Amino acid sequence: MDQWAYANGVQLDFSRPGKPTDNALIESFNGRLRAECLNENWFLSLEDAEEKISSWRRDYNEQRPHSALGNLAPREFASTG
Average pLDDT over residues 11-37: 89
- Which residue range forms the structural domain that includes residue 53? 24-80
Report the domain count for the chain.
1
| 65 pLDDT higher than 80 | yes
What pLDDT is attached to residue 53? 98
Asked if residue 64 belongs to a domain, the reply is yes
At 48, give phi and psi (nearest 5°): -65, -40
Confidence band (pLDDT; 50, 70, 90) for 23? confident
Average pLDDT over residues 55-76: 94
Average pLDDT over residues 2-10: 94
